[in-house]
Chain A
């Protein structure tokens, strides 16, 4: 009962912050838009070439845009002291972190999921590939935030933490990038994307099970 109360409160606060500070979700989206719209100018406008790089560019753009938001996870709270409220709660910290990441995935992910198919038309990708890309991004964003939460927790209030967090997380993001982009490419070449999609989803489930625990342990160590 009070766990539900506490995790709802964590998620609600996240949404209140999204409503108050539009830049929290608009900045990653703008970043994504900039990356995706600059590439065609750099590589030329032949639709065959664009089609080949499109999937990769959109996926990497979404990945980087998500990584950009990781410092938001704990740093601000550490500065204003509200992290102490989270840490001194009687409820399991892992569940509260999970609630937070879920809300964040929604706030950051939803705009990216909507934007990804729009940009696939810029890269002359067919509609079924666009949908697969949206699905891939929808799985990738929570995965990245979950994995990133561990690094963000470990480096909370560390100097230069933002870049260090991204560097730490980078290797762990590669599986979801390979499988997510792979699934969309399979669709592009007219093959079945089920294998890639399953592996990408499996990685999400793996992160879902382990990373809240790891992040809560890391957070306790780094704030002790």
Chain B
């Protein structure tokens, strides 16, 4: 039950322009990978490449589960700037759709627990269009907690603290720390300061 990530000489392009010099990083279970860089340095594109949503122009991204190659789809949960929630549907409908596509069995109890942990249980039946930005963000972060078991999936978080209030940010930091302890890999970009209690932190400067 150990996940590892191998970024091998990865180069990414945006509009025909190479974003950063070839990047090589390897991390294993329980590591926080903190991706830093100025605006436009390619942080989001790197995260999308790790999630299998963008393909590198050179090099390769490899996820391994106990040493065996696995797909990014099976190994990761990506929460980006956009919340991946349709405004016309309720929080719970959106989450059910997300879990089914991620190949997980949708269990209402699990979803309820995830929403409870993020403090948005009472919004479960509300349409996403009626929620505030912060509430949407929290609801979309609930996707992270719907993995098979703690630590089973790597979390790819693109600016997760944007739109969150101080208390929620603290709570998310704690959730990340717990997940790291359970053996996950968390890849994170942030322009805000944060304090995550982690045994191993690797910084990548783009």
Q: By the criterion CB–CB under 8 Å, are A17 and B86 in contact?
A: yes
Task: Give the distance to chain B from A195, nearest Cβ to Cβ, in Å.
Answer: 42
B72 interface residue per 8 A CB criterion: yes
The chain B residue with its CB closest to the CB of A24 is: B88
- Find the residue from B72, B98, B127 having the highest chain A CB count within 10 A: B98
Give chain B residues whose Cβ lies under 8 Å from the Cβ of A13.
Answer: 86, 89, 93, 97
Per DSSP, chain A at the interface is: helix
Q: By the criterion CB–CB under 8 Å, are A6 and B89 in contact?
A: no
- Alpha-carbon distance A6/B74, docked complex (angstroms): 14
- Alpha-carbon distance A96/B98, docked complex (angstroms): 13
Q: Which A71-97 residues have C-beta < 8 A from chain B? A: 76-77, 79-82, 84-91, 96
Chain B: how many interface residues by the 8 Å CB criterion? 33
Per DSSP, chain B at the interface is: loop
Task: Give the distance to chain B from A25, nearest Cβ to Cβ, in Å.
Answer: 13
Q: By the criterion CB–CB under 8 Å, are A89 and B101 in contact?
A: yes
A224 interface residue per 8 A CB criterion: yes
User: Which residues on B are within 8 Å of A, measured CB to CB?
Assistant: 51-55, 71-74, 76, 78, 80-89, 93-94, 96-98, 100-103, 105-106, 127
User: Which residues on A are within 8 Å of B, measured CB to CB?
Assistant: 2, 5-6, 8-10, 12-13, 16-17, 20-21, 76-77, 79-82, 84-91, 96, 223-224
27 inter-chain pairs at a CB distance below 8 angstroms, sorted by A residue, are A2-B103, A5-B103, A5-B105, A6-B103, A9-B97, A9-B100, A9-B101, A10-B97, A13-B86, A13-B97, A17-B86, A17-B89, A80-B83, A80-B84, A81-B80, A81-B81, A81-B84, A84-B82, A85-B97, A85-B102, A88-B73, A88-B78, A89-B102, A90-B71, A91-B103, A224-B54, A224-B55
Given A9-B97, A81-B84, 11 more pairs with CB closer than 8 A: A5-B100, A5-B103, A8-B100, A9-B96, A9-B100, A12-B97, A13-B89, A85-B97, A88-B72, A88-B78, A88-B101
